[in-house]
Chains A and B, each alone.
Chain A
């Protein structure tokens, strides 16, 4: 089925899968903010972009996250009529969101750098 954590990770215990999920979720936040920094988008668009990167395994994950980001003031949204379906909720980055994204990007780069160095050293 869709439980890719366990299939892609045959040896993984629940704990390990959990750690991966948590890691993904954290990174997901950064990705969503990045996508939205370029262009306003509605959930389906965001999902399309994330799917390419295999970051989103199930779509359901996205909705609680978007709502949380919106509630913390990082995102705002507006409704747009759609010609072919229900009205779409277009999310956009707020000022605070942009600020936060910059900070997040910085610490992400630092983290990647640090992690890579550690991994290299120990290999």
Chain B
């Protein structure tokens, strides 16, 4: 009585004696080994299997149902030994002798990883892995399923494995897939064997050297070369797995990072302010989408290839997919080109700066009082309202920071890009005060840039001798964000006086004066234009005793609406919905919903 196994060759079921089955499966595996690297190897293999199926079918019948050893022998005899008919294939695909498998009945079929098409749910990846590690496929599927919740990592891994692991197409593949019974320690076992082999070789060569007669230098040289070759071959085999493991580990790690950053990006995408900026920055919404897409390919493909290469090295999968490498390269290139395209088209629109200068007609006075109009109705709606509050009590230290800040604000329905303007004061060449608004923007060329600059909305209002400058300028979102800037230029004729209100502290920028006073300290003072430049009228003794100034308070300019502006010579008190705000030259006190903040000048310098 003999045990029989049921097998499927080319879609035909055979009952085969166990011994005969072993022989046949080894035979097929050997043939497969020969044609492994041949073009169309799989096709040849399935042709051969079809023929074998036919032969076996001819030798079984309703009476004799089982394939016996004699039948397998007959098949092998008719088909021939693999090295007989497949030998010349090696001419086309040279490989070292040690790699050519020879048909040895005693050697167990080498286990290889395949996708299992007979037990597949999607592409047979899980069932293939299960077959390789000899575990129930349920566990692998469960693990894959659970990993989906980690940002879909397993979807990507599955996809890579789908590509990297060949499908078990032929019976030989399927036999190799089940192969020799191995457990999860198989890889470490193989690695150990390889290390052992390496050690043995080293010892052999070591002995060779010791016993070597060095009178034949040529021979010795050959030996050394051979040794180095062998060494690297063995070493390479061992380290290929280690490198494979490292690649795989880092690939998976990077993929985690990558996926979570994509995840993060899509979260930001739901943030309306970020969305607004995206629309303002890119020419079209689609460019942003395209850019993200390009970036995904640009970074994603190398990560996928890392995992791909890692799996291949670690599990020593010889099968190469030329198309895969080629198309991966192409896709990466597409990603690169897309990123480049978006960068160039977007960058081009920032390429040139345009500038326009608009003169504001004003009524002349001997002394001009300059104040700041804080446009509260705009700032109140900006999403970073609290930030600007913070600025308010920090302004003593660094006011220019504001000039580079842009926010998105709205009045009712309409949205605006809001920027901070700045002020410069220079001598006038005429006898009159002259006021200019200089608007700047960037664009594809100088003309479109100045067109864009012209559309910046900024106002200066004169009330008697008081010139009220808007703190903020607005840009319609249709004009996009193109580093719009507004700078007010006041030209002061010689002998005339200009008073800068306290509120201008952070508004003045780079104004030249005789005493080299810092911009922020220029506020709340009167300045006269002399031959040499701006000179402070009421700054005397400021450095030594600022309290002197109490004796000569400058006239208070009209207050911006909504502010209780107790303007003394070097401080003010502001009460608004944000709380009470006391500014003086030496300290700022802010009492608001966040508590009480006291900033002294000393602190600010730190």
* Chain A stretch 87-115: residues in CB contact (< 8 A) with chain B: 87-89
In the complex the two chains form, is B85's CB within 8 Å of A71's CB? no
Distance in angstroms from A99 CB to nearest chain B CB is 22
Distance in angstroms from B76 CB to nearest chain A CB is 9
Neighbouring B residues of A68 by C-beta, 8 Å: 40
* Chain A stretch 1-33: residues in CB contact (< 8 A) with chain B: 1-3, 25
In the complex the two chains form, is B78's CB within 8 Å of A58's CB? yes
Q: Is the C-beta of A57 less than 8 angstroms from some C-beta in chain B?
A: yes
| Residue among A2, A64, A88 making CB contact with B77, cutoff 8 Å | A2
In the complex the two chains form, is B38's CB within 8 Å of A64's CB? yes
* Chain A stretch 52-73: residues in CB contact (< 8 A) with chain B: 57-61, 63-64, 66-68, 70-71
A28 to B37, CA, bound (A): 23
Binary interface encoding of chain B residues 29-42 relative to chain A, with 1 for a CB under 8 A from any of its CBs, else 0: 00100010011100
Q: Is the C-beta of B86 less than 8 angstroms from some C-beta in chain A?
A: yes
In the complex the two chains form, is A61's CB within 8 Å of B85's CB? yes
Neighbouring B residues of A2 by C-beta, 8 Å: 77, 80-81, 84
The residue in chain A whose Cβ has the minimal distance to the Cβ of B39 is A71
List the count of A-B residue pairs having beta carbons below 8 Å apart.
74
A66 to B85, CA, bound (A): 13
The residue in chain A whose Cβ has the minimal distance to the Cβ of B49 is A86
What are the 8 tightest A-B residue pairs by CB atom distance, in nearest-first order? Answer: A58-B80, A60-B85, A86-B10, A60-B80, A61-B85, A67-B40, A60-B79, A86-B50
A1 to B48, CA, bound (A): 20
In the complex the two chains form, is A60's CB within 8 Å of B40's CB? no
In the complex the two chains form, is B51's CB within 8 Å of A43's CB? yes
Q: Is the C-beta of B135 less than 8 angstroms from some C-beta in chain A?
A: no
A58 to B86, CA, bound (A): 11
Neighbouring B residues of A63 by C-beta, 8 Å: 44, 47-48, 51, 85
A71 to B39, CA, bound (A): 9
| Residue among A64, A86, A88 making CB contact with B44, cutoff 8 Å | A64
Distance in angstroms from B88 CB to nearest chain A CB is 7
A25 to B79, CA, bound (A): 16
A contacts with B, residue count (CB < 8 A): 24
In the complex the two chains form, is B54's CB within 8 Å of A66's CB? no
Q: B-contacting residues of A (Cβ < 8 Å)?
A: 1-3, 25, 43-44, 57-61, 63-64, 66-68, 70-71, 84-89
The residue in chain B whose Cβ has the minimal distance to the Cβ of A57 is B80
In the complex the two chains form, is B38's CB within 8 Å of A60's CB? no
The residue in chain A whose Cβ has the minimal distance to the Cβ of B57 is A85
In the complex the two chains form, is B47's CB within 8 Å of A60's CB? no
Distance in angstroms from B81 CB to nearest chain A CB is 7
| Residue among B11, B12, B31, B54 making CB contact with A60, cutoff 8 Å | B31
| Residue among A59, A61, A86 making CB contact with B11, cutoff 8 Å | A86
Neighbouring B residues of A87 by C-beta, 8 Å: 11, 50
Distance in angstroms from B79 CB to nearest chain A CB is 5
Distance in angstroms from A54 CB to nearest chain B CB is 14
Determine the interface band of chain B, counting residues with CB < 8 A from chain A. Answer: 20 to 34
In the complex the two chains form, is A25's CB within 8 Å of B88's CB? yes
A85 to B53, CA, bound (A): 7
Neighbouring B residues of A88 by C-beta, 8 Å: 50
Q: Can you give 28 A-B contacts (C-beta < 8 A)?
A: A2-B81, A3-B81, A44-B54, A58-B78, A58-B79, A58-B84, A58-B85, A59-B51, A59-B78, A59-B85, A60-B48, A60-B79, A60-B80, A60-B82, A63-B51, A63-B85, A64-B44, A64-B85, A67-B44, A68-B40, A70-B40, A71-B39, A85-B54, A85-B57, A86-B10, A86-B11, A86-B12, A88-B50
The residue in chain B whose Cβ has the minimal distance to the Cβ of A71 is B40
A44 to B79, CA, bound (A): 11
Binary interface encoding of chain B residues 76-99 relative to chain A, with 1 for a CB under 8 A from any of its CBs, else 0: 011111101110110000000000
A3 to B85, CA, bound (A): 11
- Can you add 7 more A-B contacts, CB < 8 Å, to A43-B50, A60-B84, A61-B84? A2-B84, A57-B80, A58-B81, A64-B38, A64-B86, A64-B89, A67-B47
Neighbouring A residues of B358 by C-beta, 8 Å: none
Neighbouring A residues of B86 by C-beta, 8 Å: 60, 64
A87 to B89, CA, bound (A): 27
Distance in angstroms from A3 CB to nearest chain B CB is 7
Distance in angstroms from B65 CB to nearest chain A CB is 16
A70 to B44, CA, bound (A): 11
The residue in chain B whose Cβ has the minimal distance to the Cβ of A68 is B40
Distance in angstroms from A32 CB to nearest chain B CB is 14
Q: Is the C-beta of B118 less than 8 angstroms from some C-beta in chain A?
A: no
Question: Which residue, B31, B51, B81, B89, has most C-beta atoms of chain A within 10 A?
Answer: B51
Q: Is the C-beta of B576 less than 8 angstroms from some C-beta in chain A?
A: no
Distance in angstroms from B341 CB to nearest chain A CB is 39
A89 to B10, CA, bound (A): 12
In the complex the two chains form, is A61's CB within 8 Å of B80's CB? yes
Neighbouring B residues of A86 by C-beta, 8 Å: 10-12, 50, 53-54
In the complex the two chains form, is B84's CB within 8 Å of A89's CB? no
Distance in angstroms from B214 CB to nearest chain A CB is 36
Neighbouring A residues of B85 by C-beta, 8 Å: 58-61, 63-64
Q: Is the C-beta of B377 less than 8 angstroms from some C-beta in chain A?
A: no
Neighbouring A residues of B386 by C-beta, 8 Å: none
Neighbouring A residues of B40 by C-beta, 8 Å: 67-68, 70-71
* Chain B stretch 45-87: residues in CB contact (< 8 A) with chain A: 47-48, 50-51, 53-54, 57, 77-82, 84-86
In the complex the two chains form, is B89's CB within 8 Å of A44's CB? no
A89 to B50, CA, bound (A): 9
Question: Which residue, A2, A59, A64, A67, has most C-beta atoms of chain B within 10 A?
Answer: A64
